[in-house]
Amino acid sequence: MLEVLTARSLTVTYPGRDVPVLKNVDLTLQAGRIHGLLGRNGAGKSTLMHTLLDLQPAISGHVDRAPGVRAGWCAQKLVIDWFLGVTDNVLLGARLRGLTGRKARDAALEALSAVGLAGKAGRGPEELSGGEQQRLMIARTLAYAPDLYVLDEPFVGLDALVKENLMSILRERAEAGASILVSSHELDVLGSEMHDLTLLDEGSVVFGGSTQGFLEYFVPLDTVTFVLRHPASEGLLEALGDIEHHAEGDTLSVRVESGGLIGELVALVAARAEVLDVTRNKPTLNDAIRAAYDHPGQHSKEARK
Amino acid sequence: MSGVLSGAALTAEFEIKAANLLTWRGIVRLAAEPIFYSAFVVTALASRGGAVQTDLAAFLAVGVIGIQCVRMMTQVIFRWTLERKWSLGSLKLSSGVPRVGYYVGMLFVPLVSLMFQVLCVLMVVFFITSFQLELQVLPLIAGVSICGLFWSAVGCLITAIIKSYKTRDFVVAMMFTPLMFSAPTLYSLEQVPQFLRAIAAANPLTYQLEFLRSVADGEWVVSQTAIVLAMTIAMVLIGYVSTGRMRTVSNEG
């Protein structure tokens, strides 16, 4: 997989502050992959993005971008030229891409359509709502069509349909070979689309690697929940032996290896109790993030694989 | 080199749009101030016994052009402040526009606006002197472009130094009027008290006005030209260094 950008040991400190905002951060972005940048507010996500784009100097470490890679930035705060109309703001993206004349205009209008702003092309940015202004910035980035998308909280203020539409555009661009770095708290939109992720906490990388690897390392067990006719008997609980379980009223929850077969377990329980229902819950990214925060020192090179 | 030129052209293209220079409203706005200054101030101050004195009108016309140069600097500060505040400079520079191209593009548009304003001043002054005015127009425009570049670069430098955007208006207000009127824009230094001459000596506009008046008379005085050129080259280089700040954003998250 082609490496588009690598950052090694980035440390960033803001003037007048003792504590670094970023501490020895490593990051690798690859072509054709969506990379989530996760972390609590103030974790250093925007600062990391700015540093990758050379918009914020690092006091140590280095960022290497593959030759010829164009990076496109969609900021968390509004970056809009209020003296230009909606179309011209997006046209700037197309012109930065090197398009001219009719081609540039078509690219701008196509990007506006993609974010649902085609009907507002003739307006000024001040006439748009907050969510529409966010879409305007996204449209400019889409019109620029970079090799590396650096999107800082792009889903904020967007309605569900627009979020889905944007995610599908990003998926298409990644499939076409672009590298996409997205910071977001909206894991319901981003969660299933991320190939890789970096989790930051207080400026340090808690985890960096594949999303699957993250889940398997921090939440390696699924939960199988049995709803029983009667509370679980002593015999049933003894039969479970060392298997991690929790019984409460008519419900019995058992932790099993993620992705492992549960036929034997179901047979074991069914032989000792009347089973009304069985559900299997896979852990979510939020579960994994919580686990990662709870055990900040647990990550290792092995988890990054 | 082609990247620098295309970056400059792209920056200038959007600056022209942002300044509304391609609409009649934008052109009228640009023309209004130099026309009013020339029509009222030059006419009034150049009149003796009900008639406009041609030599006095020429002297004052160059003074008004000097005022427009300083005025342009305030526009540059305003626009560059927006570029920093809204991270537009960061966006363009991080999207591949070379810093030199960005700087040239940003300086180009105010300079073109200034040239247009100079033409407005000259047209009005030609008119009020019944086309008797004798000025070397092309050399004057060449001279103004050198002086204009200086003030554009000063504006860029000031924007880089201003840390809080709230202080921008204060700084502009404190600079604009003293710069305009402590130099011999609308009066001759020979007529003023010593203290005012001393203040004028510290104002770069004083040297530029002397230079422009010589050039308008068809004389290129080497010492004046050298001083003005040196000031401009130095300020353009300092201004370029200050554009390093245009790239940096400082928000956290």
CA B100 to CA B8: how far, in whole Å? 8
What does the H/E/C string look like for B41-75? HHHHHHEECCEECHHHHHHHHHHHHHHHHHHHHHH
Torsion angles phi and psi, residue B218, rounded to 5: 90, 15
Residues of A in contact with B87 (CB under 8 A): 55, 75, 77, 79
- Tell if the CB–CB gap between B14 and A56 is shorter than 8 Å: no
Segment A267-271 long-range contacts (CB within 8 Å, at least 24 positions apart): A268/A239, A268/A240, A269/A226, A269/A236
Residues of B in contact with A78 (CB under 8 A): 86
- Tell if the CB–CB gap between A70 and B95 is shorter than 8 Å: yes
Q: Which residues pair with A5 in a beta bridge?
A: A29, A65
- Three-class SS state of B152: helix
Whether residue A300 is predicted with pLDDT greater than 50 in this model: the reply is no
Q: What is the pLDDT, as a whole number, of residue A302? A: 43
Query: Å from B86 to nearest chain A CA?
Result: 5
Whether residue A137 is predicted with pLDDT greater than 70 in this model: the reply is yes
Nearest by CB to A54, from B82, B94, B97: name it: B94
Residues of B in contact with A14 (CB under 8 A): 250, 252
Among A19, A22, A56, most B C-beta atoms within 10 A, so best to mutate, is A56
- Tell if the CB–CB gap between A81 and B14 is shorter than 8 Å: yes
- Measure Cα distances from B87 to A74, A78, A226, B60, B247 in Å: 11, 9, 55, 40, 8
The residue type of B173 is A
Mean pLDDT for chain A overall: 91
CA A32 to CA A181: how far, in whole Å? 11
Q: What is the pLDDT, as a whole number, of residue B171? A: 84
CA B231 to CA B209: how far, in whole Å? 13
Q: What is the pLDDT, as a whole number, of residue B123? A: 95
Tens digit of pLDDT for each residue in A31-61? Answer: 999 999 999 999 999 999 999 999 999 999 9
- Tell if the CB–CB gap between A76 and B251 is shorter than 8 Å: yes
Whether residue A81 is predicted with pLDDT greater than 80 in this model: the reply is yes
User: What chain A residue is nearest to B3 in terms of C-alpha separation?
Assistant: A98
Q: What is the pLDDT, as a whole number, of residue B163? A: 67
Query: Å from A1 to nearest chain B CA?
Result: 24
Give the number of C-alpha atoms closer than 13 A to the C-alpha of residue A75, restricted to the C-beta side.
22
Tens digit of pLDDT for each residue in A285-299? Answer: 888 888 888 876 545
The residue type of B150 is F
Q: What is the pLDDT, as a whole number, of residue B199? A: 95
Report the percentage of chain B scoring pLDDT > 70: 96
Torsion angles phi and psi, residue A187, rounded to 5: -70, -20
Tens digit of pLDDT for each residue in A249-282? Answer: 999 999 998 878 899 999 999 999 999 999 999 8
Nearest by CB to A84, from B14, B92, B94: name it: B14
Which positions of chain B have pLDDT values less than 50? 250-253
- Three-class SS state of A107: helix
Q: What is the pLDDT, as a whole number, of residue A294? A: 80
- Tell if the CB–CB gap between B252 and A144 is shorter than 8 Å: no
Residues of B in contact with A96 (CB under 8 A): 10, 92, 95-97
Nearest by CB to B86, from A42, A71, A80: name it: A80
Q: What is the pLDDT, as a whole number, of residue B160? A: 84
Mean pLDDT of A113-136: 94
CA A129 to CA A135: how far, in whole Å? 10
Contact call for residues B34 and B121 (beta carbons, < 8 A): yes
Q: Which pTM was predicted?
A: 0.85
Contact call for residues A167 and A194 (beta carbons, < 8 A): no
Q: What is the pLDDT, as a whole number, of residue A299? A: 54
Contact call for residues A178 and A32 (beta carbons, < 8 A): yes
Q: What is the pLDDT, as a whole number, of residue A287? A: 87
Measured N-to-C along each axis, helices B137-161 and B99-128 cross at an angle, to the nearest 10 degrees, of 130
User: What chain A residue is nearest to B244 in terms of C-alpha separation?
Assistant: A55
Q: What is the pLDDT, as a whole number, of residue B118? A: 96
Q: How confident is the model at residue A303 (pLDDT cuts 50, 70, 90)?
A: very low
Q: What is the per-residue DSSP string for B188-222?
A: -GGGS-HHHHHHHHT-HHHHHHHHHHHHHTT---H
